[in-house]
Amino acid sequence: MKFFDRITYLWRTYPRTADGLFILPLLGLTLLTSASTLASTTFPIYLHHWPDWMLQTIVVVIMVFHMAPWVIRRTNPVASAALVVVGSLIHLVLGPELVPTMFMVLLTVQNLAHIGPRWASIAGLLTGLAGGLLFGAAIAFIPHVMGPGGQNAGDILEPIGWEVGVVMSIPSIALVVLAWAIGNIQRTRRVRLETLQARAQQLAVEARQERELAAADERNRIARELHDIVAHSLQVVISQADGGRYAAKTQPEIAGQTLATIADTGRDALNQMRRLLGVLRDTDDADTAPQPGLAELPELIETVRLSGLHVELNVTGQPTEHLPDGAELVLYRVIQEALTNVARHAGPHASATVTLHWRTSGVAVTIDDDGVGATETDQAGQGLVGMRERVALYEGILEAGPKAGGGFRVHAHLPFHGANG
């Protein structure tokens, strides 16, 4: 840490110590150089014949009340200003005409305007203005006597008149207004800086919350991807394994084909999971092969048929606009999840029909089955929730539920303007 940085740190961390190290040595130096000599200046007439030590005591008390409160001026500015006012009243009533610590009155007005409450700032200004007027009035109308330390000790000085008092008051009032204006400008700058700091902290909190929300969305997306990959692949593997177990006794060649299908399905699922986890790790050698889309639908249908489910694919219409890869992935996952649910819940002899219909407004996909599967409430787990979330990302709609004549239907529609926007 640099020297000036250390000083700034100590100044802000230990305000009383910092102000004390500045003002107390200055107070001691002022007392040593001025207290004895001020006893030889003019005092109010009613202090005539007071001993020298009492006049020096008055001067010392005034200086202490003027300067010592500066130690607490940042931690308790109102109490500091109150002590300075006490010292100023003593000076006005008992003290000499001028003392070198009178500049502390101006610094106190500036300090109140800078860091004190708003009411204290106004009160400090009014008190300073009143003090300037009273100072001029005391010089103009109260007779003074020379202190015992001077050559003309005991000489009485008659009042100098209100004209001179007014002239003496004007500079005092002007200095008070100037000190208050400087402190008020500092207050405005400080408030603006605190507002900017609070805004920066708020933006940091909002940024952290946005990162947390983005991370939560990403976790949900990963959960949906893993669900689609694992559920579909395991359904095919389980169906093939059940069929291969029975075929192994009578038709070994079919059992071999079944095992090959299980191996291919497992490898494909493993590759997809590796791609997904590779992107999460953000490694340079991660496999970033494109996600499946509508072009891979025939391959998906063939894979599902290997599980024993009879599936037909119908495509009607022609695309009038380009569909983004993300929208194609949504439709692919909807079809994959729906067929997985059919194979899992529709029964051993169920069949399904997948209809992909290109419209002028968008693209729709419908998956119908004639099985005796579970209702939408029974299936309302990660699968259907994931479908709705995926479709909603592209401003689409998804409807899923049992059909009146039996079976289950899943229907999704993605508009072109939502998919492209």
> Both tokens of residue 350?
């169920």
Residue 69 pLDDT class (50, 70, 90 cuts): very high
CA distance 301 to 178: 86
* Mean pLDDT computed over 194-219: 81
pTM of the model: 0.53
* Cα–Cα–Cα angle for 217, 223, 226, rounded to 5 degrees: 140
| pLDDT at residue 259 greater than cutoff 80 | no
Find the helix packing angle between 118-141 and 103-115, rounded to 10°: 160
CATH 3.30.565.10 is the classification of domain 309-421: yes
pLDDT above 70 as % of the chain: 75
CB count in 10 Å sphere of residue 372? 15
pLDDT (average), residues 399-403: 88
How is residue 359 written in tokens?
């419209």
> Which of the two residues, 56 and 161, has the higher pLDDT score?
56
User: Cα-flanking dihedrals φ and ψ of residue 44, to 5°?
Assistant: -55, 150
pLDDT tens for 291-337 read 788 888 888 888 888 777 889 999 998 888 888 878 888 888 889 88
pLDDT at 202 over 80: yes
Parse the chain into domains and list their residue ranges: 3-160, 309-421
